[in-house]
Structure 1
Amino acid sequence: MHPSSTIDRPVEPLAPSTRSWSRAFADIRTGLANRQLWAHLGWQDIKQRYRRSVLGPLWITIGMGVTALGTGLLYGFLFQANTATFLPYVTVGFIVWNFLSGCLLEGLSTFISNEGLIKHLPAPMSVYVLRTIWRQTLLLLHNLIVYVIVAAIFFTSINHPYSMVDGGEPTAPGLSWTLVLVVPGFLLVALNGGWVATLLGIISTRYRDIPQVINAIIQLLFYATPIVWSIDTLGKNKAFGQFVLDWNPLYHLMQVMRGPLIGQDVAPLSWIVVGGMTVVGWALALLAMKNYRARISYWV
């Protein structure tokens, strides 16, 4: 071969790396911009679930109302709690827990359940995360109807300092202007749901045993989180109960939303923990997006 045939060959430019921060951030920006897509997909999920049903999505509200009423009355009797204050507490606890556990458990299968779209629709991966969070937000809005009804019925019991047990020292200041804090509380919880769905969604797509492990852990954390019990009902075990709550991240996530809705103080520790989880969680999620975003379509 003539030497000149190898020296004047044009050099092909290197393809841009798929593992870059710019691509990870661009994916999220583009996903947020495609609001019509993920909003439509999320709403279609709700409609499809109750297709050909007479009451449609109202079954969400009815189911939550029955669960909250039955559980609140049962555990209120077992703990000898004041029904007028304990029932709103349990109701809001279930509403917020459903949102938290929905973001976590459905977030695990965010990419797996969207396999068909991922393989055939050239959309950012963040669209599927936003679809999951939006779907859970719609369910939350339906369930809040139950809160409005319960709050109206027991308003006179929770609009002033109260306790969960009859004759106990008031531990909650009651409903006040702090109700508006539910808005930043919800935004923080939704942001945490976003990074959970992104990070665990990627991990679960690669390792399909992870959802089973997380499901078992969530069932355990349900009982360690004050949903059907309260610190007021623990009697002599209050100190140990508070220790458990301080180290339970789901409690802090729940409290920044539940506290304002039922007139409870939200401890500064809860805001700090939730804020810290948001920052650290999104840092890990973005790192996962940077390194493994391009592989998701091959793993599903």
Structure 2
Amino acid sequence: MKQALLDTIEGLKRGDLWVYLGWHDVKQRYRRSTLGPLWITLATAIMVAGMTVVYGGLFRQELKTFLPLVASGLVIWGFISGCISEGVNVFISASSTIKQLPAPLTVHVFRLVWTQFIYFLHNLVIVPVVVVIVGLPVSPTMLLVIPALFLLIANVTWICLLLGAIGARFRDVPLIVQSFMAALFMITPVLWQPSFLPPERQWVAFLNPFTYLVEIVRAPLLGNAPSLSMWLVTIAMAVGGGACATLLYSRSRAQIAFWV
């Protein structure tokens, strides 16, 4: 456990490395593209418009109030799902680098989260535009999105570390995770809110840990303060999940290079 913690701290200190590699990943993905990463924003904007029209009609919601909900939800979920989908293969994808570059393995986790955060920032531009379009009032409560983002990043980081270690050992895990991502999207309040459910069924939404990760960021983006329970659960997830991920990583750290 001590070595795993030192590895994590050393990985954080190598920010120059994983920041550079993250920027390089983004540039390589959109090399020779005219719009470059703006394709991410354009694709998300089209999805937001389509989902708002379709699901707004299904849920019988006014477009003016439903549009910010969908825009913020899809932007946040894009970050979460990107980290999960890529995180389960984080060590497998970096196998050649792991074998050649003497660096802490956590560097590759931070590199992945940083890359996905860059994509998230590109998509986040959509939310202020939507706020202006629908005339949503700007309030100081929106500043709570800053600590909420820190909690979200802390949680997706340990999820990437946990899934990456398991995925490197058991190659069926990446396939299982990919198969369940669509179902996870449907049962997580991305295009809806727990309040849309009947009171006797709302507990189902709050059993889903990803509900808290989405709502802790979406609430301040829409000018609402997250409840105290929302903060406490998200902090508990970050601390408890981080401890479990570090424990598993400490047991598998020495073997990951051989597994990949």
TM norm structure 1: 0.83
CA distance in structure 1 between the aligned counterparts of 2:62 and 2:239, rounded to whole angstroms: 39
**What SS is found at the alignment partner of 1:192?**
helix
Alignment of 1:12-27 (within 5 A): 21-27=1-7
**Higher Cα Rg: structure 1 or 2?**
1
Match of 2:256 in 1: 296
Equivalent in the alignment of 2:131: 151
Query: Which amino acid is 2:38 matched to?
Result: L
Instruction: Using CA pairs under 8 Å that are at least 6 residues apart, name the structure with larger relative contact order, 1 or 2.
Output: 2
Select the residue among 11, 16, 23 that pairs with 1:36: 16
Cα-to-partner distance string for 1:259-279 (whole Å, 9 max, x where unaligned): 000123422222121111111
2:255 match: secondary structure? helix
Q: Distance in 2 between matches of 1:241 and 1:141?
A: 34
1:218-263 CA-to-partner distances (Å, cap 9, x unmatched) read 321211112222345x4xx421442112111101110110000012
The answer to whether the aligner puts 1:280 opposite 2:260 as a matched pair is no
AA matched with 2:139: S
In 2, distance between residues paired with 1:273 and 1:229? 20
* Residue 102, structure 1, aligned to residue 82, structure 2: yes
1:155-175: CA deviations, max 9, x gaps?
2xx32xxxxxxxxxxxxxxx5
Unaligned 5+ runs, structure 2: none
**One-letter identity of the residue aligned with 2:206:** D
Seen in structure 2, the aligned counterparts of structure 1 residues 262 and 108 have a Cα distance that, compared at 3 Å, is same
Q: Distance in 2 between matches of 1:212 and 1:224?
A: 19
Structure whose residues are more often helix by fraction: 2
Distance 1:130 1:88 in 2: 30
| More displaced stretch, 78-87 vs 248-257 | 78-87
Measure the CA separation in 2 of the matches of 1:289 and 1:262: 37
Hey, what does 1:266 align to over in structure 2?
226
Residue correspondences, number: 260
> For structure 1, which segment, 252-261 or 70-79, has the greater mean C-alpha deviation from structure 2 after superposition?
70-79
* Contact persistence 2:194–2:205 (CA under 8 A): no
How far the C-alpha of 1:121 sits from its partner, in A, is 0.5
2:142 is matched with 179
2: CA distance, partners of 1:73 / 1:266: 27
One-letter identity of the residue aligned with 2:143: V
- Structure 1 gaps of 5+ residues are 1-20, 160-174
**Superposition map of 1:70-89 within 5 A:** 70-89=50-69
How high is the sequence identity, in percent, across the aligned residues?
Answer: 40
CA distance in 2, matches of 1:257, 1:74: 24
CA RMSD of aligned residues (A): 1.3
Partner amino acid, structure 1, of 2:157: G
Match of residue 192 from structure 1 = 155
Partner of 1:114: 94
- Partner SS state of residue 51, structure 1: coil
Instruction: Give the 4+ runs in structure 1 shifted more than 6 A.
Output: none
Shift of 1:216: 2.6
